[in-house]
Amino acid sequence: MNLKDKIRNIPDFPEKGIIFRDVTTLLKDAEGVQEAIQSMEKVLEGIDFDLVLGPESRGFIFGMPIAYNMKKGFVPIRKKGKLPAEVFSREYDLEYGTATIEMHKDALQKGQKVVIVDDLLATGGTAKAIVEMVESVGAEVVALVFLIELDFLKGRDALHDYNIKSILHY
């Protein structure tokens, strides 16, 4: 199965000149979503880690089943103002603007090893912000796993010191 065939391309969204890679068409396909999750899990084989972190919202969709299947905990990374306890915040650049993400201050402990899972690596802004929050508490990012990487946006450059695994490249 070609997973790219299951992903819808939407031109000029959210603004002119951007081709949005819409994974909702993949998610409604049982075999496609299974293959996507299994492919992401496979690149984690042999990597020692304690927790999966996933940013809102598609990081939840892919990160939670990976955490469950691999018997790991899951830490949600949320948009600003969505978490009820004390948080760390990071503002970051998107390919079409800025945003702020947050993580509970008690979500990680010093020395824990984490994997960040998301649907898409574009400019690397979201992932870099998460890495900074993780490292600020003394935890370690051992891998970042993405279903899709937009190579032309060079997000990997912002994360050049990290173990990046991407399943599909555009």
Residues labelled catalytic: 58, 95
CA angle at residue 118 from 114 to 120, to 5 degrees? 140
CA angle at residue 5 from 78 to 67, to 5 degrees? 35
Does the N-terminal peptide bond of residue 14 adopt cis geometry, omega within 30 degrees of 0?
yes
Residues belonging to the chain: 170
Name the residue with tokens 């892919």.
Answer: 62
Helices (H) and strands (E) in the chain, counts: 4, 9
Whether 167 and 148 have beta carbons less than 8 Å apart is answered as: yes
Q: Which two three-digit tokens encode residue 23?
A: 């994974």
